[in-house]
Amino acid sequence: MARLQSTLDVVSNVALAGAAATILLRPAVVVRVANSPTARQIRRRTARRLRPPPPPLPLQQVARLALRYSPADRRRRRELTKTAGRRLNGSAAMLAFSVLADSAIEHYRGSFQNRAMYVPLAVSALTLGGSLFGVADARPDKHIARDVIYGAAAATAFAGLGFHLYNILKRPGGWSWLNLFYSAPIGAPMALALAGLLGRGAERVRETPAMARAKVLGVPAGRMLAGVTAAGLAGTVGEAGLLHFRGAYHNPAMFLPISLPPLASILIGAAALRPGGLRHRIARWWLWLTAFLGFAGVGFHAFGVARNMGGWRNWSQNVLNGPPLPAPPSFTGLALAGLAALSLLEDESQERTNA
């Protein structure tokens, strides 16, 4: 054993002496060998083996991961998406009812001169029925029939927008204040479009797996639905402002639909762009106020009908001529959608905080 050890020492010393002589006498050869693919691969393998192991996860992070994948959190997320989906179905139902009643009155006043005027009644009735089914459906899953109905509602709304634009432009004077006041209301079909978009958002939220983040078109669902709600509120305010301007704002309450909902639109948009506890609380309070405004608006419009000649005794004429009773609930429907979006935004914000 001692002879073997001495022999190895001699061999190693000779190898070291030869390597030193090679480095001194032929450095170019040493450089070529060091830069060869085999030498580089050996260096990479050696570095990989000598790399220190990753540090263990902190106990707080381990606890967060355990909570995230726990059965209780899975149930909480499932309940959240189900509740948000049903709330969005309720919002679509409110908008569909508003479109159904309003288009029935307005198209009846127009004597259904164009057969296409029956289409929004049928589609909005289907949308209303599908949305009420979604509100009553406690299963946290989407339904293909509802999905198809919502898609048809959005397509019908954009076609109706084309018809209404044609109705305005074909009149003498074309695009003018008079035609905007007294021809087909340009913003009315978009309420049905909002019902379809929010309904499809409800189905996307419902089908979200328990451990995944709800998304619509690749964007977090809370942010997308908040944006749709903010845009819908802005458009509805524009329509209300146009018709109340036609009425010369003879009642100070006519300023409410152009003052409260715009702020709700701004607040829900701010909550989507920069989530925060205080912003969410203020936006939630203002959305509830906007929802109440929708119901109060029906009362104001009923009072407006009563002020016409004959009052409610002449309802068959005054309902056609008076302020539209089904229009204000559009604010309520959009406020409900904003509340659903806020609940999803809060969950997304909490998930980012715990990550």
In whole angstroms, what is the distance from residue 3 CA to residue 150 CA?
A: 91
b/e 319-329 (16+ beta carbons within 10 angstroms → b): beebbbbbbbb
First to last CA, the chain: 60
DSSP string, 215-258: EETTEEHHHHHHHHHHHHHHHHHHHHHHHHHHTTT-SGGGGGGG
Residue with the bigger pLDDT between 4 and 265: it is 265
Long-range Cβ contact pairs of 43-49 (< 8 A, separation 24 or more): none
Q: Pull the structure tokens for residue 214.
A: 């709800």
187-223: b (≥16 Cβ within 10 Å) or e: bbbbbbbbbbbbbbbbbbbbbbeeeebbebeeebbbb
Q: What is the pLDDT of residues 167-198, one digit of tens each?
A: 888 888 888 888 888 888 888 888 899 999 99
CA angle 214, 217, 220 (to 5 degrees): 35
Across 82-91, 112-121, 136-145, least confident range: 136-145
Token pair belonging to 256: 């409410």
Q: Please provide the average confidence, as pLDDT, over all residues in the chain.
A: 80
Residue 298's contacts (CB-CB under 8 Å, 6 or more residues apart) are 325, 328, 329
What 8-state DSSP symbol labels residue 57? Answer: P
On the question of pLDDT at 126 being above 90, the answer is yes
3-state secondary structure (DSSP) of residue 342? helix
Residues 6+ apart with CB under 8 A from 163: 114, 116, 184, 189
Which phi and psi angles does 213 have, rounded to 5°? -85, 135
Dist CA 156 CA 125 (whole Å):
13
Residue 65 has pLDDT above 60, yes or no: no
Mean pLDDT computed over 55-70: 53
Give the pair of three-digit tokens for residue 233. Answer: 């509120």
Please give the residue that has the higher pLDDT: either 124 or 80.
124
| Cβ atoms within 10 Å, residue 158 | 13
Strands (DSSP E) contained in the chain are 215-216, 219-220
- The total number of residues shown for the chain amounts to 355
Give the per-residue pLDDT at 205: 84
